């Protein structure tokens, strides 16, 4: 007989849940049952998968993938859920990313939806990784060898909460998209004042 928290993992019947996925599902199940504030948001919520990535030689992070339809519900309580998961997972940084599909354009087929293009999906992944911080600016730098480098500016008000997670954001975005990115902070995005 399966445990009740296994309903929090949504996988095909052929795929076995990893130990990390079971641990995250258990924490989410406990939060749903113990907290009145989180009960509404976590009722019916499930995760697709959980991946552990290496940020530095001594630091790892956890990326939790969930169905896109839950994104509004989760964004309301994500700070609380992430804080609880980070406590339970021995201080590893936790990132929630909605599961999205990139649709390639077949020759002679209808146009691809804007939300399913590679560029739109990569931008949405970047937004998910940085949430709840707000992205206030982006710069794409074209290098002489033809490669591009993306510089993302977060709101300076979030500096205290995000400064320790910057390397996690970089590693997660690189792992999920294969692209390089760097982060900075902007104090006044209307005047584009970059904080050193």
Mean pLDDT in residue range 163-187: 91
Q: Is the pLDDT of residue 34 over 60?
A: yes
User: Within 110-193, where are the H helices?
Assistant: 118-130, 159-162, 166-177
pLDDT in tens, 95-153: 999 999 888 876 556 777 888 888 999 999 999 999 888 898 899 988 899 888 899 99
Query: Treating both helix axes as pointing N-terminal to C-terminal, what angle do 166-177 and 118-130 enclose, rounded to 10 degrees?
Result: 160
- Strand 93-99 relative to strand 135-142, pairing: unpaired
Report residue 37's pLDDT band, with 50, 70 and 90 as the boundaries: confident
CA gap 35, 40 in Å, rounded = 10
58 in helix, strand or coil?
Answer: coil
| C-alpha distances out from residue 161 to 93, 111, 121, 167, Å | 12, 41, 25, 13
The pTM of this model reads: 0.86
Q: Of 102, 195, 100, 112, which is closest to residue 157 (Cα–Cα)?
A: 195
Query: Treating both helix axes as pointing N-terminal to C-terminal, what angle do 71-88 and 19-34 enclose, rounded to 10 degrees?
Result: 110
Residue 12: how many CA atoms within 13 Å on its side-chain side?
Answer: 2
């Amino acid at each position: 007989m399966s445990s009740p928290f296994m309903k929090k993992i949504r996988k095909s019947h052929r795929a076995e849940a990893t130990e990390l996925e079971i641990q995250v599902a258990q924490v989410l199940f406990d939060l749903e049952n113990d907290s009145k504030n989180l009960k509404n948001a976590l009722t019916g919520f499930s995760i697709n998968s959980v991946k552990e990535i290496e940020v530095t030689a001594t630091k790892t992070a956890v990326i939790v993938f969930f169905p896109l339809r839950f994104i509004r519900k989760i964004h309301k309580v994500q700070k609380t859920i992430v804080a609880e998961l980070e406590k339970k997972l021995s201080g590893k940084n936790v990132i929630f990313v909605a599961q999205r599909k990139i649709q390639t354009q077949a020759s002679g087929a209808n146009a691809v939806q804007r939300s399913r293009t590679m560029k739109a999906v990569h931008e949405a992944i970047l937004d998910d990784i940085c949430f709840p911080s707000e992205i206030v600016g982006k710069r794409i730098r074209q290098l002489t060898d033809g490669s591009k480098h993306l510089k993302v500016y977060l709101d300076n008000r979030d500096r205290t909460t995000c400064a320790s997670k910057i390397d996690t954001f970089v590693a997660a975005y690189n792992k999920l998209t294969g692209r390089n990115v760097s982060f900075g902070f902007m104090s006044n995005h209307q005047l584009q004042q970059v904080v050193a």
